Structure 1
Amino acid sequence: MTETTDFDARKTRASDWFRSLRDEIVAAFEGLEATHATGPFSASEPGRFEVTPTTRSTEDGSDAGGGLMSVMRGGRVFEKVGVNVSTVYGTLGEAAQKSMAARGVPGIETDPRFWASGISLVAHMQNPHAPAVHMNTRMFWTPNAWWFGGGSDLNPCIEYAEDTAHFHDTQKAWLDPHGATVYPELKAWADEYFYIPHRKRARGVGGIFMDDRNTGDWEADFALTQDIGRAFLPAYLPLVEKRRVQPFSDADKDAQLVHRGLYAEYNLVYDRGTKFGLATGHDANAVLMSLPPMAKWV
């Protein structure tokens, strides 16, 4: 098997995995909506995802891939949640090419072809006691390089130490089989990456994050990426199940809106995925899906 053929098969495996993870998460979130029978917002209709195909635009109109944007708005549990998958390819524009070259991607100056696939999720909750959350994983390929990236982090506006501990402990349990240093490394990376310099604070209580993951062993790196995805639901669902029924005050809701302002600032100013998606012509609505439905600045 040639290297090109081998990576064609690997691309398919990665893209299929991201799609299967998307399907699992969408089903779980709609299940939360259906079972929310008591507590705030339970009298409303359960939310369902609206699914829209997305495309990557190119100047010459050539096929450049796309994906699915799945968004639920105004549910019982989720005020807004998006679970997107995409597989895009083509030629990097000049700005993206220079950015990749600056990051040390070999050969990108002379051969700007690329392929990228991944899943991206952001959930903003109705109940301010239920934490917002972000998760994404992705694979990126060029003719001379490949890598994986992503992670998940918890963004409560009202913090509970036991919720934070559960989120981190679950992720650690899934990552420990990949080596004793992996979880501490990815946790520290998340603490650094999800920091808002102009606010001098983190946007949440952290999680795990990696980028440019290429140990030379594609299978091992893909397995780690899969377990980052597998860790998400057991780390997050119990927190939502516990907090969705909790009473809240106007002050709690106000705190939620202010915290969402931090989230919006980070995603628009610093997030690497947002910048890449917009720079490479992917559907702007899908790229900006992460923004909250309502936010407030003091």
Structure 2
Amino acid sequence: MSPEMIDEKSRASLWFRDLRNQIVTAFEALEDSQTTGPFAELPAGRFEVTETKRSSDDGSDAGGGVMSVMRGGRVFEKVGVNISTVYGELGERAQMAMAARKGIPGMKEDPRFWAAGISLVAHMQNPHTPAVHMNTRMFWTPHAWWFGGGSDLNPCIEYAEDTEAFHAVQKHHCDRHDPNYYPRFKEWADEYFYVPHRGRARGVGGIFFDDHNTGDWEADFAFTQDVGRAFLPAFLGATEKRRDTPWTEADKDTQLIHRGLYAEYNLVYDRGTKFGLETGHDANAVLMSLPPMAKWV
């Protein structure tokens, strides 16, 4: 494998774009099919697409992406599906963080990096329909490469059968590659999406993985693709089941308070938020995950 991994980078970047297209198509079809309930009279939601750019210190090309956001739909109150491919040199702060967390030597001498990925967060109209997060990514430096990502469910009103079904799909796709992946990455998600200052998890979990490099790029890429493929079958079942459930103002209040918890986590703890802002990516794209409305008691 060449040190620059030009072909591998291109394949990964194109896959994330293809996955984005699949999800956008499925979500717009879900909007079209919503013909009952309090939001049925609204126009079916459509994604607004905006190109994003990463800023570099010297003004050189540093990559960018596509931000796709739907607001005020029949099913989705706000959903973003972003892709990006960015590159350049890591600043000193990012170099230090990367070297410390991942144990990568030589970052100061050669701070080049390349990263591509997809990031999705959906906040729903009906409080009984769970919010959800998914992302997958590939990261490269001259010193190392790895994949990361995952998917987790964030209901404000929990249904045990929805949680079980979501996890079953994750396990099925993980087991296709290694029977140890699901229990390992489920535990990692439980730890990663924990909110220490609230003493609770952000949601009902899923899977999370980072620094994934078995030494076999093809196998690791295939696994990362399956994490992406698992998303729609894992999420759409609960969405279609709950989107017509009657709800009260108390239910909506519960949803808004839970969204406050989600916002706290993403602003205080989320690595992707910190990395995106530290490396100069479009702030609106980085903060796409924040809910349109939230509440604190």
Same fold judged by TM-score > 0.5? Answer: yes
Match of 1:127 in 2: 126
Q: Distance in 1 between matches of 2:136 and 2:106?
A: 24
Correspondent of 1:31 among 29, 32, 37 = 29
Match of 1:262 in 2: 261
C-alpha offsets along residues 139-193 of structure 1, whole Å, 9 cap, x if unaligned? 0000110000000000000000000000000111111011111110010000000
User: What fraction of aligned residue pairs are identical, expressed as a percent?
Assistant: 75
Instruction: Tell me the amino acid that sits aligned with residue 199 of structure 2.
Output: K
Q: Distance in 2 between matches of 1:158 and 1:40?
A: 19
Q: Distance in 2 between matches of 1:29 and 1:40?
A: 19
The answer to whether the aligner puts 1:19 opposite 2:17 as a matched pair is: yes
Secondary structure in 2 aligned to 1:178?
A: coil
Matched ranges for 1:115-154 at <5 A: 115-154=114-153
Match of 2:70 in 1: 72
Q: Post-superposition shift, 1:15? A: 0.2
Q: Post-superposition shift, 1:43? A: 1.3
User: Which structure 1 residue ranges, 5 or more long, are not aligned?
Assistant: none
Secondary structure in 2 aligned to 1:123?
A: strand
Q: Post-superposition shift, 1:276? A: 0.1
Matched ranges for 1:118-267 at <5 A: 118-267=117-266
Match of 2:57 in 1: 59
Q: Distance in 2 between matches of 1:257 and 1:38?
A: 23
Secondary structure in 2 aligned to 1:81?
A: strand
Correspondent of 1:102 among 96, 100, 105 = 100
Q: Post-superposition shift, 1:4? A: 3.6
Q: Distance in 2 between matches of 1:155 and 1:40?
A: 22
Q: Distance in 2 between matches of 1:32 and 1:239?
A: 13
- How many matched pairs? 296
Instruction: Tell me the amino acid that sits aligned with residue 207 of structure 1.
Output: G
Secondary structure in 2 aligned to 1:105?
A: coil
Secondary structure in 2 aligned to 1:228?
A: helix
Instruction: Tell me the amino acid that sits aligned with residue 51 of structure 2.
Output: P
> Contact (CA 8 Å) 1:106, 1:145: kept in 2 or not?
no
Secondary structure in 1 aligned to 2:209?
A: strand
Q: Distance in 1 between matches of 2:70 and 2:236?
A: 17
Q: Post-superposition shift, 1:40? A: 2.7
Q: Post-superposition shift, 1:21? A: 0.2
The TM-score, its normalising length taken from structure 1, stands at: 0.98
**After TM superposition, where is structure 1 displaced by more than 3 Å over at least 4 residues in a row?**
none
Q: Distance in 2 between matches of 1:105 and 1:267?
A: 25
User: Which structure 2 residue ranges, 5 or more long, are not aligned?
Assistant: none
Instruction: Tell me the amino acid that sits aligned with residue 39 of structure 1.
Output: G
The answer to whether the aligner puts 1:40 opposite 2:38 as a matched pair is: yes
Match of 2:84 in 1: 86
Q: Distance in 2 between matches of 1:174 and 1:106?
A: 33
